[in-house]
Amino acid sequence: MTSKTFRIGLLVLLALMASQMFANSLYFVSVDTSTLPSFQGPYQLYLNLLDGNGTGDANNTVTLDTFVCTGASLSGCPSGVHSLTDSSFSTLTTFGFTAGGGVAFRVGLTGNLDANLVPDSFQLSILDGSFNPLPTTDPSGSDAVLFAQFDQSSPILQGYGSPNGAAITIEPVPEPELGLPVSLTGYRPDPHGGLA
């Protein structure tokens, strides 16, 4: 295999990876569970992606990865990538944990708009040992700790605190630049119109 063919193949691979790995909106989320009362547990992180048009069109995905657990027991602290796609009216999953520390992870949101008036939405709540959501400052009354509505191409993830002590921090992850990975391939445009 020639160096030129290898570089072209690597460029194509980088482009494919960027299109599949990077969501329209990326956030790093940290949840401090150290002040949650242990007698109300064990707790669960409850994640729910609702399909706005109710048809299961699978046009949006929420991805959670890069889990880090400190002091809290998150059923072995998840590893790998966990995705929810709105392939049914409601797509949900849970992660059990024992309060006592922090849980941090990255959230990726696609930004595909539905053609109807009701956009898709994502919610993360903390459920107590009786499967009731902990009260939060969520103005909708659904007690979300995290909420995003897919009503724009880059959905905004909103966080709501809990009077019971689950503090949340949300930091947008800067968009990756393709310049460095592309420069590592040695690619440079040929001034005569071909590939160098």
Residue 2, C-beta contacts closer than 8 angstroms, at least 6 positions apart: none
Same domain for 2 and 36, yes or no, is no
147 in Cβ contact with 121 (< 8 Å): yes
Q: Are 80 and 97 in contact (CB under 8 A)?
A: no
Domain count, the chain: 2
Residues 102 and 181 reside in one and the same domain: no
Residues 61 and 115 in one domain: yes
**Is 112 found in the same domain as 88?**
yes
Write out the residue range of the structural domain in which residue 3 sits. Answer: 1-22+176-196
Q: What was the pLDDT predicted at 76? A: 63
Which pLDDT score, from 0 to 100, does residue 10 have? 44
Q: Are residues 122 and 184 in the same domain?
A: no
Let me know whether 114 and 44 are in one domain: yes
| Per-residue pLDDT at 163 exceeds 50 | yes
Instruction: Kindly report, residue by residue over 137-160, the tens digit of the pLDDT.
Output: 999 999 999 999 999 999 999 999
Residues with Cβ within 8 Å of 94's Cβ and at least 6 positions away in sequence, in order, are 44, 45, 46, 47, 127
What's this model's pTM, rounded to 2 decimal places?
0.75
Question: How high is the pLDDT of residue 1?
Answer: 47
195 and 144 together in one domain: no
**Hunting for tokens 């919610």 — which residue is that?**
123
